[in-house]
Structure formats: C-alpha cells, structure tokens
Amino acid sequence: MIASGAGAEAATIPQPIAEGCGVSSPVRLDSITLANGDVVRLPGGPILGCEFALVFADYVRVIIAPLGAGTLGTKVDSIETGPGYQCRNRNNFPSGKISAHAKGIAIDLLAVRFADKRRAAWEHQDGATEASYIRATRAAACGWFTTVLGPGSDPFHVNHMHVDTESHGSNGSYRICQ
C-alpha cells in the first residue's frame, strides 16, 4: 500500500511477468486524496510503477481536480483511464520500441467525471467550458510528464491523452508535447 500520507490509495501487487517488460514496484492505483480530503476515484485501477503513481497523483491533486472545480464549478469525482501497465510495443505495433506502458510509467486518460454527473472526455467536450478545461489539463501535463500525446497528435491518440515519464534524447531532457 502506498503510504496514506502520500495521498494515494494503491495496493502493491506482484510483479507482472512478461518477456521484455517490467514494472518497478508495481501498484494498483484506486484513488487519490486531495488536500481538502475529497477523493478522486480511478475505477479502472490502473497498474503503475509506484514512483510514477506518485507523480500522477500529484498531477491530479495540483492540476486536474483544482482546474475542474474552478473551471466547471463542481468537484472531480473520478477519472476514466486505460490500464496503465501493458506489455506491448509503442502504438501496439508487432515490432519496434517497447512502450512506456510496458514499464509502468505511462497512463492514458479518457475522461473526467464530476460530482454533478458531467463527463469531460479528451476526445469530445460539450461546450466551450469543458473544452477549455481539457485544453488546460493537457497544456499543464507538459510540465509534469516527458511525453503528452492526445487528440490531434497522431491517429493512435484520437480518444485519449497519453502521459508518461520516458526519457527522450541523448541526455534524457527532451520532451514530447503534442
């Protein structure tokens, strides 16, 4: 279990066994506790490396939840995500570079659900306010993660926002923000 002081509820799980893949300290992330005590649920229970789970939890606490409350005037209830860890190559190609998902350092965000039952998806938003919220969360993600891909970046990310902490470039400081 991630320490409750870290503001995340996550159960440690056994290391997934798959050739060519591996997750450092795997956890199943179930929820994130905000500074005010509210809880943002992750119903998909994504499997992530513990260190990445803490980075993602901070992004939700500092960006996703406060922007949602401020922009849409209601609390963030939950975030729909992909599974996090998946042993596969980038873009599910049969060969090529291994995906950051195969290392437990990536997650795909599909939509944010709010206390008033609204759902803001990265693929489609209802109205200018939701669109502004999604744009802001995506722009801010570029400061938290080394890779941010979403609708409009390529055909593989048309319905979600992918974020990861993969190192890029010769010195690892290159960022991909599309």
Q: What is the mean pLDDT of residues 137-150?
A: 95
Q: What is the pTM of this model?
A: 0.90
Please, are residues 29 and 59 in contact by the beta-carbon 8 Å criterion?
A: no
Helix ranges restricted to H, the chain: 50-59, 65-72, 127-144
Instruction: Sort strands 39-41 and 26-33 into parallel, antiparallel or unpaired.
Output: antiparallel
Instruction: Report whether pLDDT(6) > 70.
Output: no
Half-sphere exposure of 109 (CA within 13 A, CB side): 27
How sure is the predictor about 5, in pLDDT bands with cuts at 50, 70 and 90?
very low
Instruction: Report whether pLDDT(4) > 50.
Output: no
